[in-house]
Each structure stands twice: as structure tokens, then as C-alpha cells.
Structure 1
Amino acid sequence: MLPIWIPAAQMRLAHQFTRIAIESQVVIGMRMAGMMGVIAQAPGEPFRMVAEKQAAAQESLFAMAKAGLGGASPESMMAAGLRPYGRRTRANSRRLTAPRARR
């Protein structure tokens, strides 16, 4: 049974998780379509797909550590750790779904 009252910080965190999950599925679908040749794909897209994960992981760990050392709540630490992933999924989703003329 769900609690009747959910703190605002936990709701924001759930929203952040949900947005990243949806945008990630869009990005995965577009990249898979590009790898299968269904849509045009930039030549460096497969390399970019791997390289950006390393940078996001480093930024995420640093942001969580910085928030934790600053005395942030667990929800704030999680939100700080998700922010680098959220920025990348949003940027990738917009870039991959943009009309061809804007690329």
C-alpha cells in the first residue's frame, strides 16, 4: 500500500527518473534504427554512444560526492547524480529526433 503523503523531494526524484527512462528509450530506439540502416545515422554515433557514458558516470559520481560532502539529503544526492544523465538523454533525444534539415 502506498503512503498517502509523499514528500516533494521524492516526487521530484521520481519525476526525474521517469523523464530519463522515457528519453532513454527514445534514444535507444533511434540509435538501433540507425544501426539497422532504417534511418540515417552520423558516422561517429556508435563511438559517441560509448564515450558519453564514461563522461556521464564520472560527472555523476563527482556530483553525488560533492552533494554528500556538502551535507545534502539522500534525495538531493540522487538528484545530483542523475543530472548528468538527464542532460545527456535530453540532448540526445532532441538531437536524434530533430528534423534532418536542422542537423
Structure 2
Amino acid sequence: MKTDMFGPAAIFAPFALWQQMAEIAWESQTVIAMRTAGLLGLVKQDAGEPQRMVMEKADAAGEAMTAALRAASRGARADQVMKAALRPYRRRTKANAKRLTGHL
């Protein structure tokens, strides 16, 4: 893995990381709102959604740690390690938002 500290990828890395975190934050709020509405009975929700809500946290945390350790062991820059760690969360929040709203 190339770790050039002054190349274009490294210079723009903070912006890419910010974008990834902003997308996770936005989609997380959507998922929280939809799940809350489901728990309150305001929208139809699968009966297994509360259990899914809890179980996916542990799965995502394990995947994130594994991804971060792999990136770090390859000598990746700190931003690359963080990006790898965030990827499992981003994948889940995006999928949950799409599934719960039906159109994201």
C-alpha cells in the first residue's frame, strides 16, 4: 500500500473522511427515526427489527476492528485506517436507510 504523505490522495484525505462520516451521520439519523417510528407503531416494521438493531452493532464493530487492523498491518496512513474502519458502518447505515425508507 502506498503511503505517500504529500501526494494528492493524502492531501484530500481529510475531506474524503469527513464526507464518509457525514454520510454515516445522515443515514444513521434516518435509520433511528424510522426505527423509532416502527417501535411506536407509526410505521409497519418487521417483528425482528429490534433484535436486528442490537445484533448488527456487534457485527459492525467486529468488522470495523478487523478492517482497521488489516489496514494498519499493511502500513496504511492513519486516514486510510480510519476509512477502512468506517466502511462496515457506512455499508450498514446505507443498507438500513434504503431498506427502512424504501427509496434512499
TM over 0.5, yes or no?
yes
- 1:39 aligns to what? 43
1:57 correspondence with 2:85:
no
21, 24, 45: which one pairs with 1:20? 24
Whole-angstrom CA distance in 2 between matches of 1:94 and 1:41: 14
Whole-angstrom CA distance in 2 between matches of 1:54 and 1:75: 23
Cα offset, 1:7, TM superposition: 2.3
Whole-angstrom CA distance in 2 between matches of 1:8 and 1:24: 25
- 1:77 aligns to what? 81
Dislocated runs of 4+, deviation >4 Å: none
How many residue pairs get matched?
A: 94
Gaps of 5+ in 2: 1-9
Gaps of 5+ in 1: 1-5
Query: How large is the RMSD of aligned CA atoms in angstroms?
Result: 1.2
75, 81, 97: which one pairs with 1:93? 97
Cα offset, 1:92, TM superposition: 0.1
Cα shift readout 1:44-99 (whole Å, capped 9, x = no counterpart) = 00000000000000000000000000000000000000000000000000000017
TM-score, structure 2 normalization:
0.88
Whole-angstrom CA distance in 1 between matches of 2:72 and 2:99: 33
Whole-angstrom CA distance in 1 between matches of 2:12 and 2:37: 38
Percent identity over paired residues = 48
